[in-house]
Amino acid sequence: MRSFSPLVLGLLGATAAVSAAEPADAADSNVIALTKDTFGDFVKEHDLVLAEFYAPWCGHCKALAPKYEEAATELKSKEIPLVKVDCTAEEDLCREYEVDGYPTLKVFRGPESHKPYGGARQADSIISYMTKQSMPAVSTVDEENLEEFKTLDKIVIIGYVGADDKAASESFTAFAESQRDNYLFASSSDAALAKAEGAKQPSIVLYKDFDEKKSVYDGKFDDEAISKFVKTASTPLVGELGPETYGKYMAAGIPLAYIFAETAEEREKFADEFRPIAEKHRGDVNIVTLDAKLFGAHAGNLNLEPEKFPAFAIQDTTKNAKYPYDQTKKITAKEVGKFIKDVIDGKVEPSIKSEPVPETQEGPVTVVVGRNYQELVIDNKKDVLLEFYAPWCGHCKALAPKYEELAALYADVAEFKEKVVVAKVDATANDVPDSITGFPTIKLYRADKKDEPVEYNGSRTVEDLVTFIKENGKYEVDGLAEGAKKAEESGDVTGSASSSQAAETPAASEDVHDEL
């Protein structure tokens, strides 16, 4: 199942939909087609190979083809071959390498040594990634080759460490080993060269082809500190958000500020105006421009009006808190700059998309909305079973009567009512802090471990849900046992839980989520 991220789905979809030129004829292609009979020998004969496992009918493969060809042509001069395998014709070979989707890209260092390709599916990204793979984790630079090394990629990182500084050298090398898929690294022990580059020993210089062109770090040489420096220094002051950059911004761990604009000229103008603000708040917030024509629908996810541009909003990516800027106001660097500072300083309340808070709770299932989520799910001392649903979801509709029956097992017993709550929230109409991968998603928030919810992955029967609550809740309440006891006392031989024991339809019992 795909993650619930409308923006990333939109970005990926837009990428796949790009109409690209047809790949070159096989005779003219620099991408080498291999079969089961030729693949093993080929990867044995070459130190480094990038292989694409594809299907001719695959739309994403067709979109990748011209980019893959362009990368193959560029990398040919570096003796890094790019190959392809048609999985509709070479099923055994693709099965051997556990190909379960198209296209699948893998980096080979011999038939037995391979790993997934970790870059983006763009020509320059493939070239950059494979160039890094072809080099040692840390190269050596001197006065003669320094300038050439700087041009090998958009970002290169050089450690200027004295020959006798073993601790700093080991720390830098360890970091380079862990990040070799992402950056090119080199080192120099020449103190004079470091001085000429505006650095001292030990220090790290990150060279880049954007913004101020280089950043210098001369702090403590430990992994966390170096990582923070590199993450901040390698991010453009005002970048462009798209398929190739989305993951990096989401993983940055700091708020992301979006500038939605419909034309390239507008986005460039905003980028220039906001660069000083981005410099001022560097490390506290990342600022990006976003093509509103392609990805304007994402504005709605940030609680903006999705067709009124230009627009601005900040998202705290770790808490999923949203701060939309008033769309009746003109977007100027000066005024939005004040808004950014106020958000960073905690002076702005996050916007919460929410249905109205119910005046009364009707029925056994507690209705949660954005504005009472904290109160009903997190702040109480009860075990809370929460269903995240969508009104259009067929599986949610099939679950509804059983979920009502489940809730009644606890709501109808005073003792249990104080220990267990069965609740639901429309995740399409209310902001929720949880990561949702499909509908319905059911999670149990244990009374004493609210920050560690347990997701339910069993069959959607009342019995199994009761067992889940009993085994994972703080109070270990057995709702079915109490239901049977009540039925016996009332003389009802079927009991309140008996309907749950009827045979499930296959569609209802499958562990399937509707995609978002």
Give the Cα separation of 340 and 334 in Å (integer). 10
Cis omega (within 30 of 0) for bond into 306: no
Catalytic one among 186, 393, 465, 477?
Answer: 393
Q: What is the DSSP letter of 211?
A: T
Return all residues near 513 (Cβ < 8 A) that are at least 6 apart. 1, 395, 437, 438, 439, 440, 441
Return all residues near 484 (Cβ < 8 A) that are at least 6 apart. 495, 497
Angle at 241 between CA 237 and CA 246, to 5 degrees: 105
Are the beta carbons of 391 and 461 closer than 8 angstroms?
no
Active site residue 94: no
Catalytic one among 7, 31, 49, 61?
Answer: 61
- Helix residue ranges, H only, 328-445: 333-344, 373, 394-411, 414-417
Exposure string (b/e) for 95-109, b if CB count within 10 Å is 16 or more? eebebeebbbbbbbe
Return all residues near 7 (Cβ < 8 A) that are at least 6 apart. 246, 295, 298, 301
Torsions phi, psi of 506, nearest 5?
-55, -40
- For the chain, the helix, strand and coil percentages under 3-state DSSP, each to the nearest 5: 40, 20, 40
Q: Strand 383-389 relative to strand 366-368: parallel, antiparallel, unpaired?
A: unpaired
- Supply the DSSP string of 129-151, one letter for each residue: HHHHHHS-SSEE--TTTHHHHHT
Cis omega (within 30 of 0) for bond into 116: no
Give the Cα separation of 71 and 75 in Å (integer). 6
Give the Cα separation of 315 and 301 in Å (integer). 10
Q: What is the DSSP letter of 55?
A: -
Active site residue 396: yes
Catalytic one among 314, 396, 411, 516?
Answer: 396
Tokens standing for residue 145: 């080759």
Are the beta carbons of 393 and 514 closer than 8 angstroms?
yes
Active site residue 393: yes
Is residue 451 classed as helix, strand or coil in its secondary structure?
strand
Single-letter amino acid code for the residue at 266 = E
Catalytic one among 8, 58, 297, 512?
Answer: 58
Q: 54: which strand partners? A: 86
Q: What is the DSSP letter of 398?
A: H
Return all residues near 312 (Cβ < 8 A) that are at least 6 apart. 257, 258, 259, 260, 324, 325, 331, 336, 339
Residue with tokens 């890209």: 105
Q: Strand 155-160 relative to strand 184-188: parallel, antiparallel, unpaired?
A: parallel
| Catalytic residue annotation | 58, 61, 393, 396
